Structure 1
Amino acid sequence: MGAEWEIADAWVFAAVSGSGPEDGGTLARVIGAADGINHAILTEDEFVRAVPRLVAAGLIGADAAADRYWHTAAGRAIAERWHRRGLFAWAEVVPPALRGTGEPAGGSFALPAGAFAAAVREYLSAG
């Protein structure tokens, strides 16, 4: 059996916003959105595992150096289906949509040293 999509992949996907690098969310914004929809703060491991899988599936774009994360056209189509059902429907809509893309592809993704902890601090201090 191959790799399977995990709930953290769906959670990261649901927390991403925007349609390109210009309006994509910062890491602090993604962390805040993730907390808002799942009432918990992502871990760095969850984030760096999900991002390359979502990028490989063509659902999000990511630029760690620019601190921007966004939905692609395919990702926006999934997000629109989810949003029509309400904010908390992400857990009902996103995981099946991810499974519909096939098995997740691996890959690596790294953040600059300390970037995740700094983004968590930024989110927590803004609240």
Structure 2
Amino acid sequence: MTERRCVASGLVDHLDHTGAHGAADADAVEDWGDDMENEREDAKLRHPVGSRTHGVVRIRRPFGGFIELDGSPDAIGFLDIASYSPDPPALDRPEVGVGVSVQVAFHDEQKRQIRVRVGEPFRRR
């Protein structure tokens, strides 16, 4: 499921759960947006920069993958291909459904992502 579909699905679930219809939809959407923001803030507290956690690969793309982080089913970590350098080296990235150990690299406020890495960051010599 794409990220856009996940967000849309969450909104539809929220509207169904609240029974919002017509003019009440705007209030329900605003409440849903507030809930999403609170979940992001909670996830950042549970997964501070530098912390290590486990997760499961949920979406795999040529540029990286999206990892469902343990303890935060609504928090998705983004692992870009340049941040994947396991020790010992692996020939390929993990498949969807495979568990991985990751380290939180930073919180990308603009994209509202928790960026994670596997292995040591690349360093210039």
* Greater gyration radius: 2
Would you call these one fold, judging by a TM-score over 0.5? no
Structure-2-length-normalised TM-score: 0.25
Structure 1 or 2: larger strand share? 2
Structure-1-length-normalised TM-score: 0.25
Structure 1 or 2: larger helix share? 1
Using CA pairs under 8 Å that are at least 6 residues apart, name the structure with larger relative contact order, 1 or 2.
1
